Copies of this chain bind each other. A is one copy, B any other.
Amino acid sequence: MNKKEKIQAEQNVCPERRTEMMKKVGVAILGVGVVGGGTFKTLTEHREFYKKTQNVDIVVESVLDRDHERAKSIGVPAEVLASSIQEVVANPNVDIVIETIGGCGVAKDFILAALQEGKTVVTANKELICKYSHELERVAKRNGCGLYYEASCVGGVPIIRTLLDGVQANHITEMMGIINGTTNYILTKMAQENADYASALKEAQRLGYAEFNPTNDVDGYDAMYKLSILSSMAFHTKVPYGKIMREGISQVDSRDIAFGKQLGYTLKLLAIGKSGEDGIEARVHPTFIPNAHPLASVNDAYNAVYLRGDAVDDIMLYGRGAGSLPTASAVVSDVIYAATHSEIKYSTFKNTATAEKGVKFISDFTSAYYIRLSVEDEAGVLAKITGIFAKCGISIVEVAQKSKSEAGEDTRIPLIIITHKTTENSVKSAVAKINQSGITQVKAVIRVEE
């Protein structure tokens, strides 16, 4: 049959026959905790809806979880509970394996086992994809199956789909993201309620936004993994997490948030990636952005990614970066995509363990800076400090002197300097010179993006 005849034949079948032609896809879920549980719920409650709107019947054929009682409590039927990964991947009815365990331990072994049996994998595991996508993708390709990970970054926001199929016509030159909900919640609290870091963290822990050991979030590891994945896709070259500068929020002083606000800035933990002729820079750190910037009004546990492309100019995607159902939305979106598309779109870059040869990463990047010092209220101090900046080749946009009461200090007053764009190394050098000068100590250095 040629193409035209085939289409004709399809159009002539009776309605019953057409229903038979609906694709049936079996899935397994590994781990039914927060995200896996939400995925089970979404898939089962929406089964008829997907049959109607996507022409695909997605059936949960297998669930693997150490805790059978937990699985049963969310409605998993006893007959689909598997007792080992071998049982899951040997099941001929399972076409797609969903991994929602997390971490780089059994999750990795299970995914490899599934890929080796020719099962397409959908995962929400950012750390694993960041660290081992080259290995997993190689095995996936070798076995002719797909590897999807929309849910690994920014929860329900379809940022990976957008990079692959929405803005792929562009050279992406810049990406700035609020991609960690915990830290955004803490910084929002600090800004809105003038809370200090410790009490905002405590509140975040009480509400379940932060873990008991918050390091992964507050020290920027989570954002770093996601930035590695997203900037690799955006810039079409592997950006290993080892090349990402990382600074968390645990040293953020609420006074700087307040002073920044007076100067027209909002403080966010930004994941920043830039790609230009000189190379690529990738960094995660607390950043001041102008209050009018679209990212400045992204508050609480919300996430957003702002992109700049050479055709589309600037666009932003905003939504919930975590949570059971929002993340399940991304998992199931990948399942439907895998079930309804023949072509498997792997990463659009050479997926290597380390950076590709010839790709340059810039560590001495350029930025504007907010610098706070604590100075004696004496004549000549400002001249000495600005002299040091001048010697380091840094030009100053604005100097703001605050009152003692605002700083809660006794004899010293806070002095804030906003610089023009300069290099990271110049600022480091100026800060070292000031600290060694005996005049004063630098209390805070915060990078500023426009």
Contact A311 B38 (CB under 8 A): yes
Q: Which residues of B contact A294 (CB under 8 A)?
A: 297-298, 318
- How far apart sit A316 and B304, CA to CA, in the bound complex (Å)? 9
Contact A158 B167 (CB under 8 A): yes
Residue of B nearest to A158 (CB): B166
29 A-B pairs, CB-CB below 8 angstroms?
A7-B141, A46-B171, A49-B171, A50-B169, A53-B236, A53-B348, A155-B312, A158-B167, A161-B161, A162-B162, A162-B166, A165-B165, A165-B333, A165-B337, A166-B333, A167-B329, A169-B328, A169-B330, A169-B332, A294-B297, A297-B297, A311-B325, A312-B326, A313-B319, A313-B320, A316-B316, A316-B318, A318-B318, A341-B341
Contact B313 A326 (CB under 8 A): yes
Interface string of A29-60 (1 = CB under 8 A from B): 00000000010001000100110111000000
The verdict on A157 contacting chain B, using a C-beta distance below 8 Å, is yes
Determine how close the nearest CB of chain B comes to the CB of A200; give it in whole angstroms: 19
Q: Which residues, 1 to 49 on A, are CB-close (under 8 Å) to B?
A: 3-4, 6-7, 11, 38, 42, 46, 49
The verdict on A315 contacting chain B, using a C-beta distance below 8 Å, is yes
Closest 4 CB pairs of A and B: A158-B166, A315-B319, A156-B312, A169-B332
Q: Which residues of B contact A169 (CB under 8 A)?
A: 42, 46, 50, 328-330, 332-333, 335-336
Determine how close the nearest CB of chain B comes to the CB of A104; give it in whole angstroms: 27
Interface string of A297-320 (1 = CB under 8 A from B): 110000000000111111111111
Contact A333 B38 (CB under 8 A): no
> Which residue of B42, B158, B315, B326 is within 8 Å of A320 (Cβ)?
B315
- How far apart sit A11 and B325, CA to CA, in the bound complex (Å)? 39
Q: Which residues of B contact A52 (CB under 8 A)?
A: 236
The verdict on A402 contacting chain B, using a C-beta distance below 8 Å, is no
Determine how close the nearest CB of chain B comes to the CB of A112; give it in whole angstroms: 17
Contact B156 A165 (CB under 8 A): no
> Which residue of B49, B161, B325 is within 8 Å of A165 (Cβ)?
B161
The verdict on A342 contacting chain B, using a C-beta distance below 8 Å, is yes
The verdict on A168 contacting chain B, using a C-beta distance below 8 Å, is yes
Interface string of A317-361 (1 = CB under 8 A from B): 111100101101110110111001111010010000000000000
The verdict on A214 contacting chain B, using a C-beta distance below 8 Å, is no
Q: Which residues of B contact A326 (CB under 8 A)?
A: 311-313
Contact B311 A328 (CB under 8 A): yes
Q: Which residues, 50 to 83 on A, are CB-close (under 8 Å) to B?
A: 50, 52-54
- How far apart sit A167 and B329, CA to CA, in the bound complex (Å)? 7
Q: Which residues, 156 to 185 on A, are CB-close (under 8 Å) to B?
A: 156-158, 161-162, 165-171
Q: Which residues of B contact A206 (CB under 8 A)?
A: none
Q: Which residues of B contact A328 (CB under 8 A)?
A: 169, 311
The verdict on A404 contacting chain B, using a C-beta distance below 8 Å, is no
Q: Which residues of B contact A42 (CB under 8 A)?
A: 169, 311
- How far apart sit A78 and B51, CA to CA, in the bound complex (Å)? 50
Contact A317 B320 (CB under 8 A): no
- How far apart sit A298 and B315, CA to CA, in the bound complex (Å)? 12
The verdict on A142 contacting chain B, using a C-beta distance below 8 Å, is yes
Q: Which residues of B contact A158 (CB under 8 A)?
A: 162, 165-167
Q: Which residues of B contact A340 (CB under 8 A)?
A: 343, 345
The verdict on A144 contacting chain B, using a C-beta distance below 8 Å, is yes
Contact A325 B313 (CB under 8 A): yes
